[in-house]
Amino acid sequence: MSEIGIGIIGGGYMGKAHAVAHAAVGAVFQTALRPRLEMVAASSPASAERYRDAFGFARAAGSWEELVDDPRVEAVIIASPPETHLAITRRAADLGKPVFCEKPLGASISDAAAMTETVEAAGVPNMIGFNYIRTPASQYARRLVAEGAIGDVTWFRGEHTEDFYADPEAPASWRTSGEANGCMGDLAPHMINAALALMGPVASVMAEIETVHTMRGSDPVTNDDQAQIMCRFVNGAMGHLFFSRVATGRKMGYIYEITGTKGAIRFNQEDQNSLWLYKAEGPEADRGFRQILIGPAHPDYEPFCLGPGHGTGYQDQIIIEARDFLESVAEGRSRWPTFRDGLAVSRIVSAARTSHENRSWAHVAGD
């Protein structure tokens, strides 16, 4: 067991989540590398200092550059806005430091591509922050599909819906402009990643993207509120994706339904400790979707609790993510999902935008 100095850029929503995760992960998973909260950077030295104190970092950085350059920072976690992701990645890669980056990979598809190239060229371990797919339930769903438990998949429906902008009276903010801050930029990536993880690559998409509330007060909204995508997976299955930040009543609607020839799976992140499985076997009279309460029999649950049904939560996903990143660093090679996996998501977002503009099906670029 040896220590590794962690530097986190950003101390907001996700900066804090990663700080907590690295504080806890060693005790939870007994990782080979034990993280040390070495340094935090933020938009100003003063806020970095506040985060240092709040989350228990050893030091605060004057700037993200200072953090990246610091010799005691051995791995970099990017939890700052998308516009900053590329530059930070470049500097870290130059120094050969492993990088973990929050989604979306960059502020644009070109940023995402550049970031991927950078880390691959530098050969540094890299990972993208798709945390929802790491719940024990979703990990198990992936395994079930991969093992053929539901047969050949014939339909996938996914959505990521929340309602934080459902109120038309809610004022404009930084969220209401900027491609990366809209629904397609901000919410879509998690579920697109899930679709890829569960179903494999997407061949083509047909999308409709829209701004439902075009004005907020006297300010125009210049990015999208919701979007839907019909898609065709490379495996031949048809699918549908829906994303919305104006979905009144939905709080964490990361939902998927997967239908196969021998069964089906349903999941809703709002009840993240249940996975619903239907198996077309046994007497007809006894068939039904079963609510599997997640427990030690499912991936990555047991370190959190020995009792089934006792449940994991949002923060625990980030702890699992931290474990994955530390293992990747310890092994010296990237683990799924890498920047390239983030880029695959960005490509679908990009194809959806093209489709929407042309009002026609769009091919999704491959590697």
Ligand X SMILES: NC(=O)C1=CN([C@@H]2O[C@H](COP(=O)(O)OP(=O)(O)OC[C@H]3O[C@@H](n4cnc5c(N)ncnc54)[C@H](O)[C@@H]3O)[C@@H](O)[C@H]2O)C=CC1
Contact residues toward ligand X (CB under 6 A) are 9-15, 41-43, 47, 64, 79-82, 84, 102-103, 129, 131, 186
Q: Does residue 4 interact with a second copy by CB under 8 A?
A: no
| Closest to 199 (Cα-Cα) out of 265, 250, 244, 269 | 265
Find tokens 């998973």 and name the residue.
29
Q: Does residue 363 interact with a second copy by CB under 8 A?
A: no
**Which residues, other chains included, contact 18 with Cβ-Cβ below 8 Å and sequence gap of 6+?**
8, 77, 79, 100, 318, 322
Select the binding partner of residue 9 from ligand X, a second copy, none (C-beta < 5 to 8 A, by kind): ligand X
Q: Does residue 172 interact with a second copy by CB under 8 A?
A: no
Task: Name beta bridge partners: 266.
Answer: 257, 276
Structure tokens given for 220: 């125009």
Q: Does residue 148 interact with a second copy by CB under 8 A?
A: no
Q: Closest approach of Cβ 124 to ligand X, in Å?
A: 19
d(CA 29, CA 288): 35
**Residue with smaller CB distance to a second copy, 168 or 171:** 168
Residue 245 near residue 187 (C-beta atoms within 8 A): yes
**Residue with smaller CB distance to ligand X, 74 or 111:** 111
Residue 185 near residue 248 (C-beta atoms within 8 A): no
Using Cβ positions, the residue closest to ligand X within the complex turns out to be 12
For residue 268, count other CB atoms closer than 10 A to its CB. 18
Q: Does residue 357 interact with a second copy by CB under 8 A?
A: no
**Which residues, other chains included, contact 312 with Cβ-Cβ below 8 Å and sequence gap of 6+?**
135, 136, 272, 273, 294, 301, 304, 305
Q: Closest approach of Cβ 28 to a second copy, in Å?
A: 5
**Residue with smaller CB distance to ligand X, 10 or 136:** 10
From the list 269, 334, 346, 350, which residue makes contact with a second copy (rule: CB under 8 A)?
269
- Which span (106-114, 285-293, 323-331, 343-351) binds a second copy, by CB under 8 A? 285-293
Q: Closest approach of Cβ 34 to a second copy, in Å?
A: 7
d(CA 102, CA 17): 11
**Residue with smaller CB distance to ligand X, 102 or 111:** 102
Tell which positions 15-54 bind a second copy, by CB under 8 A.
16-17, 19-20, 23-24, 26-28, 30, 34, 37, 53-54
